[in-house]
């Protein structure tokens, strides 16, 4: 464990730097880094890394380099502006364990800006809350990784292990940004992803599938004065109840996954987009439903896709038109598996101690109905990866906001985790920082 003095000094450094941390987070939130528009936010992250003396690696994602890798998700959009940034700290003598901090700059669409209390990209503070798209998911956590590192060094200590700071794109739509970091060769003994978890240790996450169900109609003049045709939108919407029914079926299976037995609703089937028609006075020639499907750990993408395809096929058989013009299903974006964190007693104990020191409470864990890039480390790199981050409200909704008090606590916890995991040298004495006797608990700060 870290000596009490070290804990106190690092916590004090987080406190003294927190105003700058919030200011930097606001600058990051103010950049509308929607899918395909992340480059400016990545420039800001790269500059922040250079200011800290990190070796900066910035590159454009190449689908051809990724498409044969495990964990790849199919791409239907341009990667012309899809840049990753990794900043690396290397100690003079690498004596400690290595660490990856990972976070994403891409954000989801905002909806009508007029329905926000403040503008979605006008980050405002009200009480303990910072508002803005991406404030919680997950720019506050991403910024905190750099300031946790600052706190360690500003306290007079140097990490003894190598540290990579990964700022990635594509988390919200595929996960290919983090996959590109694996492909580029970045490895470490542990990975810390501060997605907003409400200061809970994420034991497991579901997988995701994005599917597009397309129906072709028979277009005619909407008046029907020659023929009525077949309305593709109406036919597509008739399929939706059959797709939605899978949700209840899949949730009934949670008893087969012990850690999800007590979760109230692990699998969600969501219709996120509807596209169809070209002209108000024409019977639509085509319509598409974009659907997000969750799958619990232990269930494969292949079997979930098969059940989805069977549901659409069976729904079409009862319709004279659809039975002769069957809907098509294609997969785009997310194609990910669920995971559990296993065999990670040492890093979990370090995180548990850090949480207890800062919050004064026992760390609780959760399995979630959401997904994050944490899966890549646990499934494809054989690396302990943890999702642990601040408290957020209305993520992906209007008035998304993050609890700044929670952000400060999480920053301290990440700094203490970094210090104990990687080990420290005291720059003032050039000596290694020795652990306290096992069993001692440092005071809260």
| DSSP string of 105-130, one letter each residue | --B-----GGGSSS-TTS--EETTEE
The H helix count followed by the E strand count for the chain is 11, 20
**CA neighbours within 13 Å on the CB side: how many for 419?**
35
Alpha carbon 414 to its chain's center: 17
What whole-number distance in Å separates Cα of residue 286 and Cα of residue 230? 10
Is 279 within 8 Å of 232 (Cβ atoms)? no
Of 133, 74, 73, residue with least CA distance to 106: 133
SS3 content of the chain, % helix, strand, coil (to 5): 35, 25, 40
DSSP at 136: I
At 203 the three-state DSSP class reads strand
CA distance 2 to 155: 14
Tokens 């979605």, located at residue: 120
CA distance 68 to 56: 27
Q: Where are the beta strands (DSSP E) in 83-223?
A: 83-89, 99-104, 125-126, 129-131, 157-159, 163-168, 190-193, 201-205, 207-216
| Contact present, 181 and 102 (Cβ < 8 Å) | yes
Exposed, middle or buried by CB within 10 Å (0-12, 13-18, 19+), for 443? Answer: exposed
Catalytic residue among 106, 172, 195, 403: 106
Residue pair 48/91 in contact by the 8 Å Cβ criterion: no
CA angle 176, 178, 184 (to 5 degrees): 100
Asked if 106 is an active-site residue, the reply is: yes
Q: Which of 38, 170, 171, 420 is catalytic?
A: 171
Q: Is 171 a catalytic residue?
A: yes
Token pair belonging to 303: 């079997």
Residues contacting 157, CB < 8 A, separation 6+: 6, 9, 10, 419, 424, 425, 426, 427, 433
Phi, psi of 379, deg, nearest 5: -100, -35
Active site residues: 106, 171
């Amino acid at each position: 464990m870290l000596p009490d003095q070290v804990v106190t000094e690092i916590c004090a450094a987080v406190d003294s730097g927190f105003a700058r941390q919030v200011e930097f987070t606001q600058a990051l939130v103010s950049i509308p880094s929607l899918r395909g528009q992340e480059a400016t936010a990545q420039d800001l992250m790269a500059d922040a890394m250079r200011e800290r003396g990190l070796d900066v690696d910035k590159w454009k994602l190449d689908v051809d380099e990724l498409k044969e890798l495990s964990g790849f998700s199919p791409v239907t959009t341009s990667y012309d502006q899809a840049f990753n940034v990794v900043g690396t700290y290397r100690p003079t003598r690498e004596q400690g364990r290595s660490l990856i901090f990972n976070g994403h700059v891409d954000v989801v669409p905002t909806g009508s800006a007029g329905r926000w209390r403040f503008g979605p990209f006008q980050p405002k503070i009200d009480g303990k809350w910072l508002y803005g798209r991406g404030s919680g998911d997950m720019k506050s956590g991403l910024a905190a990784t750099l300031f946790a590192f600052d706190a360690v060094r500003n306290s007079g200590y140097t990490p003894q292990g190598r540290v990579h700071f990964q700022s990635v794109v594509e988390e919200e739509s595929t996960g290919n940004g983090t996959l590109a970091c694996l492909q580029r060769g970045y490895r470490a003994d542990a990975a810390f992803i501060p997605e907003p978890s409400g200061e809970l240790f994420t034991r497991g996450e579901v997988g995701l599938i994005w599917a597009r169900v397309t129906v072709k109609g028979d277009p005619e003049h909407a008046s029907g004065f020659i023929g009525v045709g077949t309305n593709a939108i109406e036919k597509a919407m008739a399929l939706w109840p059959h797709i939605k029914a899978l949700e209840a079926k899949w949730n009934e299976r949670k008893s087969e996954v012990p850690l999800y037995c007590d979760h109230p609703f692990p699998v969600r089937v969501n219709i996120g987009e509807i596209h169809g028609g070209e002209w108000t006075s024409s019977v639509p020639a085509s319509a598409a439903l974009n659907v997000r499907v969750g799958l619990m750990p232990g269930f494969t993408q292949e079997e979930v896709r098969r059940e989805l395809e069977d549901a659409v096929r069976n729904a079409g058989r009862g319709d004279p038109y659809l039975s002769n013009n069957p809907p098509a299903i294609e997969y785009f974006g997310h194609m990910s598996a669920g995971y559990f964190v296993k065999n990670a007693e040492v890093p979990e104990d370090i995180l548990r101690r850090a949480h207890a020191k800062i919050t004064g409470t026992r760390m609780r864990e959760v399995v979630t109905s959401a997904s994050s890039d944490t899966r890549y480390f646990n499934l494809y790199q054989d690396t302990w990866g943890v999702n642990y981050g601040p408290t957020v409200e209305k993520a992906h909704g209007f008035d998304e906001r993050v609890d700044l008090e929670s952000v400060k606590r999480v920053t301290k916890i990440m700094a203490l985790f970094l210090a104990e995991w990687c080990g420290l040298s005291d720059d003032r004495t050039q000596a290694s920082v020795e652990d306290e006797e096992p069993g001692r608990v440092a005071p809260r700060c």
